[in-house]
Amino acid sequence: MDYTVPTSGLDSSHFLSLPRPSITLATSSDTPIVDTTTLAAHDFDVDPRTGFMPPQPPVERLPNDYSQWEELLQDACTERLTGLGQNRRAHRRGVSAFRFYPLLQLLKSEVLIRRAHHVLAWIMHFYIHTQPLSSSDIRIPPPITLPLLQICRELQLPPVLTYSDDVLYNWGLINPDASGTIDPQNLWVLTSFTSTPSESHFYLTSARIELIGVRALALMESTLGELFAGDDIALRRITRYLNELGGGTAADKSNSASSRGIIGEMELELNNMTAGCDPRVFYEEIRPWFRGVDSGERRWIFEGLELDEMLEEPKELSGPSAGQSSIIHALDVFLGVEQYSHGSAGTESQSEKPTFLSRMQLYMPRHHRNFLSHLQNNRRSLRTMVLDTCAAAAYSDIDPSDARNLLEAYNSAVMALKKLRDSHIVIVTLYIISPARRAAQEKREREREAIQGLESRQEEAPLKGTGGTDLAKFLKGVRDGTRDAVIRSGSLEN
């Protein structure tokens, strides 16, 4: 399926072309600054051509005043700081020797401040994960703490690598002269820890899924518009949109790519992960760099907070996760399944708050969080409309066949989302759970050999994801919750 999107230049009124409403500048200048949250057209930074991805390639370098940051990041990527040795120590010395740069130039531009978060968060992860294992706590020096936390205050993001740093704002065009469209096969990765093809393929798979999701966002918009109409024609259009999203009923499906539906295409792209990302390379060489505090055993101590009274001790420090993808959250909210799929999945108790869904939204670009909140608070609920239509079909002038077709289309979309999560569990098992079990088994065998045959039985601790959850329990809970959101056909019985 061709899902290329156009790359025409940005209009002067586009969100990314406007001065950003800086927290710092707003309190230190009398000059009025455009607050983009009041502009309906660009309120959510969701582009009709690229969705949650930016409409043009992210900037690849900060201005010359910040060249030391860029050079340190480039050196870290080029040297591939694996193992123990001079390169790792040199990187840590370089971080400690950072100069303090005024952020004024960055605060005026959304694209530059995004790049600054990207650069500093990657440098920090290189710094943290090259520390000797003997270190009890990780102390992050003031030259990183101050600019990163000041930038995070502006962006309302945590000081840690996020999905947007790895995927949304981590791509360029192989052939920048390609006219008219962004071809998903024309993307390359700006920054990586290992410079391996596996790492690039890992990020680009997610980027391509985001681009497929653009059409899902368009169907959501069309559906919400029809919900306001609420007549028979609107009901049939919504049914068609849901069939496009989920692939239609089982009777309508064939083996052709077009019959998969948009969610099915996203699943197909996810399954393509195995074509270019080696599970061993991912688990042993790539994934360790992602770790945040939640999935590690050592605290992160940000030094120098006392130098800026506006800064606070960070509380959210999970690593990047697919759970931070706004397109997947949007599908949950649009279909009305989030209360089933994310209500308490992966938590220790039914009452634990906040849910994983709300926690992961803290790691999303703030305008994307606003989009999800707007979608969630919409007065017209798709799921409620489906339930009401099925209930009314028995005693109103609604054609029962129209109600049945709507119900089947809705359930098809829900089950397509459940199937996408089935595939995600398979991928996570292949890339994380199985390698972790093998590593744990090998460790136990070494321990048994070390104590000369005395049997050592240890209870295996649950494997945590980069978001800090019990990985297997969480994923199965979300998958099963999605399945439970299917509306039973009894709603149509007289």
Tens digit of each residue's pLDDT (9 = 90 or more) over 120-149: 999 999 999 988 877 788 999 999 999 999
What was the pLDDT predicted at 424?
94
**Which of 52-61, 134-143, 204-213, 407-416 shows the lowest mean pLDDT across its residues?**
134-143
Better-predicted residue by pLDDT, 410 or 476: 410
Q: What gap in Å lies between CA 437 and CA 12, rounded to an integer?
A: 53
Per-residue confidence band for 26, with pLDDT thresholds at 50, 70 and 90 = low
Q: Is the pLDDT of residue 346 over 60?
A: no
DSSP 283: I
R_g of the chain, CA atoms, integer Å: 24
Range(s) of the domain holding residue 377: 198-283+322-492
pLDDT band of residue 25 (cuts 50, 70, 90) is low
5 confidence band (pLDDT: 50, 70, 90): low
pLDDT at 165 over 60: yes
Q: Are residues 487 and 344 in the same domain?
A: yes
Number of domains into which the chain is organized: 2
Among the residue ranges 19-33, 154-168, 208-222, the one predicted with the least confidence is 19-33
CATH of the domain at 482: 1.20.58.480
- Tell whether 116 and 219 lie within a shared domain: no
**129 known ligand binder:** no
Please give the pLDDT value at position 365: 95
- Smallest CA-to-CA distance from 412 within 423, 404, 401, 424 is with 404
The residue among 100, 134, 155 that closes a domain is 155
pLDDT score of 379 more than 60: yes
Rounded (10°) angle between helices 197-229 and 261-271: 170
Average pLDDT along the chain: 83
Pairing status of strand 5-6 against strand 181-182: antiparallel
Q: Name which residue leads in pLDDT, 315 or 191.
A: 191
What is the predicted pLDDT for the residue at 463?
64
What tens digit of pLDDT does each residue of 408-427 get? Answer: 999 999 999 999 999 999 99
| Residues 383 and 474 placed together within one structural domain of the fold | yes
User: Which of 14-28, 133-147, 303-317 has the weakest average pLDDT?
Assistant: 14-28
Final residue belonging to a domain, choices 86, 120, 155: 155
Tally of residues, the chain:
494
pLDDT tens track for 31-52: 444 444 433 435 688 988 899 9
End position of a domain, from candidates 124, 155, 186: 155
- Do residue 360 and residue 458 come from a single domain? yes
- Burial environment of residue 338 by CB neighbours within 10 A (0 to 12, 13 to 18, 19 or more): buried
pLDDT at residue 457 tops 70: no
Which phi and psi angles does 50 have, rounded to 5°?
A: -130, 0
